Structures are given as C-alpha cells and as structure tokens.
Amino acid sequence: MEKIALKVVGLSYSQTQTGAYALILKEAKGNRRLPIIIGGAEAQAIAIPLEKMTPSRPLTHDLFKSFLDDFGIELEEVIIYNLVEGIFFAKIICKQNGKSLEIDARSSDAVALALRCEKPIFTHDFILGSAGIIIDEDAEEESTVQDISMESVPKSEPSGKKSIEKLENELETALQKEDYEKASRLRDEIKKLKKDS
C-alpha cells in the first residue's frame, strides 16, 4: 500500500473543552490535513520538539530516544496505518543490526518520537480520504499553536439537500478560520447525510 508523507503543521487547543487538543498533520505533497484529537500531556510531548525546547530533565519520549540511541536502534519512520471508529493506529519502524522492527504505538507517541529523531511520518490514502480535510491552497499560513473555539455542529434541517449545502458552506468557513475540529465534525455530518439520502 502506497505511503503518503505527512508533516506536522501544529497543535490547536480549545478554551472551552479542558485538555482537548488537535494535532494537525499536513499531506507533504497535497492540500489535505489530518486532525488527530489528543490529550494535554500528549500535546506537550509534541510541542517541545516543535518549539525546539530542551527540558531540564528528560521526559518519557526523550528517554525513549536515548534508549534507541544507546542500544544502536535506528528509528526509520512512523506510519499511521489504520483508523477504526475514530481511533488512529500507528507503528514505529526501527532497524537494529540490519533487522527491521515494528512497534505498535499511539499516534501521538509515534509523532513525538519522529519529531525528536527527525524522521518521516507517513499514512495511507484511505485514512486521508476518510478523516482528512481539504484546505484551500491560498489559505493563510498556519501557526504552531492557535486558539480554537469548539462549536457544536448545527442540527440537520428537514430538507437533506439544503442541509448539505448549508453544512458545506459552514465547512468552508471553518476551514478558512482553520477551525479543524469543527471542520472534522462538519465533514462527518455531511458524509452521513449524503449516505442516508
């Protein structure tokens, strides 16, 4: 299965939902973005290498990187390989003495390690197809961390066609504002309405 390279765009957080963050990954050669909802500790583990910070004492991911280095294990890449009921599955691909190793991991942990080891992150087209959000190429450049207000998705109107059009307009507005969490919910609602109609 073909791998699609991703790069970390940044982290978004909400002032209305405590501890909720979205890790935003962007297709390296395309305009799709993949938002992954993570917790506060996971967001901190990713923010540290993004912001080029060095903690006074090693955190868990720093310790794991030191372990890899000291035992001659090279992290080659990270793959977000599956999506089941909204949960992303990842694996860390390593090599030691010419032998390839695959380690199952949460996507947030895998990304935190890939950033520390400066290694590539990949996914598959079916994941971007089902959970990705298409961004207009002319959209304003993203910042590493930004405020996100999480509004609920509006209820569907009786007319399916009108509801889809309204939701698609709201999706476009959310994308322009880089409100990826809302855009993700709107995208799912549109898919559901199209499937039911």
- What was the pLDDT predicted at 76? 97
Task: State whether 115 and 163 are in the same domain.
Answer: no
Task: State whether 34 and 116 are in the same domain.
Answer: yes
Say if residue 111 is exposed, middle or buried (CB neighbours under 10 Å; 0-12, 13-18, 19+).
buried
Task: State whether 145 and 155 are in the same domain.
Answer: no
How many separate domains does the chain show?
A: 2
Task: State whether 41 and 77 are in the same domain.
Answer: yes
- What was the pLDDT predicted at 32? 94
- What was the pLDDT predicted at 99? 95
Task: State whether 168 and 143 are in the same domain.
Answer: no
The boundaries of the domain holding residue 97 are 3-149
Task: State whether 81 and 110 are in the same domain.
Answer: yes
Task: State whether 115 and 60 are in the same domain.
Answer: yes
Q: What is the pLDDT along the chain (197 residues), one digit of tens a residue?
A: 899 999 999 888 755 566 688 899 999 998 999 999 888 889 989 999 988 888 888 889 999 999 999 999 999 999 999 999 889 999 999 999 999 999 999 999 999 999 999 999 999 999 999 999 888 755 544 444 443 333 322 222 333 444 677 877 887 787 777 676 777 777 777 777 777 66
Q: Name which of 189, 188, 171, 167 is nearest 179 in CA terms.
A: 171
First to last CA, the chain: 32
Task: State whether 93 and 139 are in the same domain.
Answer: yes
Task: State whether 15 and 104 are in the same domain.
Answer: yes
Task: State whether 170 and 128 are in the same domain.
Answer: no
Task: State whether 90 and 171 are in the same domain.
Answer: no
DSSP count for the chain of H helices, then E strands: 6, 9
- What was the pLDDT predicted at 17? 60
Question: Rounded to whole angstroms, how far apart are CA atoms 113 and 93?
Answer: 11
Torsion (CA) 153, 158, 161, 167 in degrees, nearest 10? -10
Q: What is the CATH number of the domain that holds 143?
A: 3.10.690.10
